[in-house]
Amino acid sequence: MILIAGLGNPGAKYARNRHNVGFMAMDCIMQAHGFAPPRSRFHGELAEGRLGDIRTFILKPMTFMNESGLAVGEFQRFFKIPVENVIVFHDELDLAPGKLRVKTGGGVAGHNGLRSIARHIGPDFRRARLGIGHPGTKARVHGYVLSDFAKADHDWLDPLLDSIARHAPLIAKGDDAGFMNKIALDLPIKKAKPEQN
């Protein structure tokens, strides 16, 4: 059994924000693999299904980003699942738009959602980092991540989300390298640039 959590902020005003790309990925996975409709549990929206032959729970914390660990921690303790069976999808400023990297453990690089999760379950969970690019200066980061994706971003965003959903069974069974490779092969070669707000 695994838990895949996507990070974002609840509410319609945040739905298309760059910071909510983790939520968007969860929606695509649930739709592509016929998950049961989400229920309100563990301070979030929780859905159950299968990725390949792996029993999988998908969680979208509804606590706002900086308290994401409350939902993830409650689930992890209730089901007593190993921390390495927790995978968190989140936006990553330090990756170019459309790039994806999976890693286990490490720092939080100023990401409040990751900081909260690490506080609740420790740092050794797996992270699927979804590149959104950097606005150029630290002063512009807050406004950038809480702005909607631009129309031009959908040239790389939609194929990325589709590819994540299609290949999700690989990350579910622990083949992080295979998951990254399949997505890299799917995506357009054209280099995307972040919108300058």
User: Where in the sequence numbering do the catalytic residues fall?
Assistant: 19
Tell me the backbone φ, ψ of residue 161, rounded to 5 degrees.
-65, -40
The CA distance from 142 to 137, in Å, is 10
- Name the one residue in this structure whose structure tokens are 């921390």: 83
| C-beta separation of 164 from 30 below 8 A | no
Q: Phi/psi class of residue 12: alpha, beta or left (left: φ > 0; alpha: ψ in -120 to 50)?
A: alpha
Calculate the CA 74 to chain-centre distance: 18
